[in-house]
Amino acid sequence: MKILVTGGAGFIGSAVIRHIIQNTQNSVLNVDKLTYAGNLESLSLIEKNPNYQFSHTDICDRAALDQIFTDFQPDLIMHLAAESHVDRSITGSAAFVETNIIGTYQLLEATRHYWNALPENKKTAFRFHHISTDEVYGDLEGTEDLFLETTPYAPSSPYSASKASSDHLVRAWNRTYGLPTIITNCSNNYGPYHFPEKLIPLVILNALAGKALPVYGNGAQIRDWLYVEDHARALYQVVTEAAVGETYNIGGHNEQQNIDVVHAICELLEELAPNKPEGVAQYKDLITYVTDRPGHDLRYAIDATKIKQDLGWVPQETFATGLRKTVQWYLDHQDWVANVQSGEYQNWVAQQYQSEQA
């Protein structure tokens, strides 16, 4: 099959492409705008594979999309292109509306135009898989509650609102035009090649550099952590096996408080990187509590029963095994880290966390 992946230079997208190229005979076209979080070095393991190709394209560019569909003739679409950082959405929401809403609309329309012209057998087999987030559900009040596929949407941030909007567009294109769509909503991902603005890589790299480890509020926010390679397996299984119109929640069965995640990283670094920066007695001494961000959801947790029952998918990594692999990967790939940390990223981190010191 020919699979078009949008946002394939991003964290989850690159994991999906690596999984497909390394484990199947399918061809992949990676369509990515290469914003600050897009990094083609994350695809260095497969970039020379004849089944892989890249197009530097913005999904908001309808003419470019039409040409891509004409040239590549995809059998499946996996739509991962998105602005995805909550903090950035609070300080600059326009990019989230543009990419996540307008970009999804342009991609849906380009797909619909292409799909309508396919012969009936290809039309029937075609799928548009939209990859979304559990943040569209808002947060959970009870300690035992879980997000279900039927949980009402109640997004809290400009990011989650833009993703909720894109989910609604995808469902509408299925209901109104018959476009064969599938949606998945995942919990927090972590693992190799994660851009260093997110919690786990930020803590690892700041600790190694002897910098403060910023924790919002008291660190009691709870997230369900999903190892990115487990997620990539799930996404491929969904796009190739799920029925049209289905929605699946994908979670790691690993609920952790943010402060416990930070402590776990510090303990792993004590073992795996005992030679600390000058002046640092223990990595945990670098923990710094900063003012909580506006509208911060307290708890996310996914019930992934449906995907287990329907498709047989379960995560292979526990949080302990996945986190150890992640920390070791960053220790072994300092060159990737150095290349991805551009001036723009460093300036943003300084501005974001320096201004929020409690």
Tens digit of pLDDT for each residue in 115-129?
999 999 999 999 999
Sequential DSSP letters for 200-240: HHHHHHHHHTT--EEEETTS--EEEEEEHHHHHHHHHHHHH
Asked whether residue 356 is assigned to any structural domain, the reply reads no
Euclidean distance between CA atoms 179 and 108, whole angstroms = 9
Asked whether residue 154 is assigned to any structural domain, the reply reads: yes
304: which residues sit within 8 A by CB, 6+ positions away?
248, 249, 250, 251, 253, 313, 314
Q: 135 an active-site residue? A: yes
Instruction: Report if residue 92 sits inside a domain.
Output: yes
Instruction: Give domain status of residue 240, yes or no.
Output: yes
Q: To the nearest 10°, the Cα dihedral for 92, 94, 97, 103?
A: -120
Average of per-residue pLDDT across 236-261? 95
- pLDDT interval class at 36 (50, 70, 90): confident
Task: State the Cα–Cα distance between residues 28 and 208, nearest whole angstrom.
Answer: 36
Query: What are the pLDDT digits (tens) for 324-346?
Result: 999 999 999 988 888 777 655 44
Structural domain count of the chain = 1
Segment 155-172, tens digit of pLDDT: 999 999 999 999 999 999
Average pLDDT over residues 98-112: 97
75, 83, 87, 134: the active-site residue: 134
**To 5 degrees, how large is the angle CA 122–CA 127–CA 133?**
170
Whether residue 96 is contained in a domain is answered as yes
**β-bridge pairing 127-133 and 287-290:** unpaired
Question: Facing residues of 56 across strands?
Answer: 32
The mean pLDDT of 281-308, rounded to a whole number, is 88
Catalytic, out of 32, 83, 135, 224: 135
Question: What is d(CA 317, CA 11) in angstroms, rounded to the nearest whole number?
Answer: 18
Counting Cα atoms < 13 Å in the Cβ hemisphere of 52 gives 21
The pLDDT mean for the chain works out to 92
Residue 156 in domain: yes
Choice between 99 and 223, residue whose per-residue pLDDT is larger: 99
What is the per-residue pLDDT for 125? 98
Half-sphere exposure in the Cβ direction for 234 (13 Å, CA): 33
- CATH value at residue 13: 3.40.50.720
Task: Let me know the angle formed at the C-alpha of 163 by 160 and 165, rounded to the nearest 5 degrees.
Answer: 110
**Predicted pLDDT of residue 89:** 82
pTM: 0.91
Asked if 58 and 100 touch (Cβ cutoff 8 Å), the reply is: no
Q: Which of 159, 190, 248, 283 is catalytic?
A: 159
* C-alpha to C-alpha distance for 223 and 346, rounded to whole angstroms: 26
Amino acid making up residue 355: S
Band of residue 62 on the pLDDT scale cut at 50, 70, 90 = very high
Give catalytic status of residue 159 as yes or no.
Answer: yes
| 233 domain residue, yes or no | yes
Residue 326 covered by a domain: no
What pLDDT digit, counting tens, does each position of 13-24 carry?
999 999 999 999
Instruction: Give the mean pLDDT of 206-210.
Output: 96
Alpha carbon distance 264, 284 (integer Å): 9
- Expressed as residue numbers, the domain containing 124 is 2-190+228-252+299-316
Contact 46, 17 (CB under 8 A): yes
Centre a 10 Å sphere on the Cβ of residue 66 and count the other Cβ atoms it contains: 15
